Amino acid sequence: MIKTSNRRSFFRTALDSMVNARQRQAERYVNGALLMLDDETLKANGYRREDLRKRATGIYYL
């Protein structure tokens, strides 16, 4: 009889952690890039500077 476990494998957990970290990094990068735009452009695209500042923890440049 094969016993199955509800636990996630080590590799699946590691992959999920890596994907989540990269997603947070991408969000910080995009927020930083959006913060460089002027207020009119942000408003025209549905963003508010205050909301972006709350979510931005770091600015990444190319």
Query: Phi first, then psi: what are they for 44, rounded to 5°?
Result: -65, -25
Find the mean pLDDT for residues 57-61. Answer: 52
Q: Where are the domains of the chain?
A: 29-62
Residues 15 and 9: their CA atoms lie apart, in Å, by 10
pLDDT on residue 7: 78
Residues 43 and 22: their CA atoms lie apart, in Å, by 27
> Tens digits of per-residue pLDDT, 10-37?
999 999 999 999 999 999 899 989 999 9
pLDDT on residue 61: 45
> How many whole angstroms from its chain centre is CA 37?
19
50-54: long-range contacts (C-beta < 8 A, 24 or more apart)?
A: none
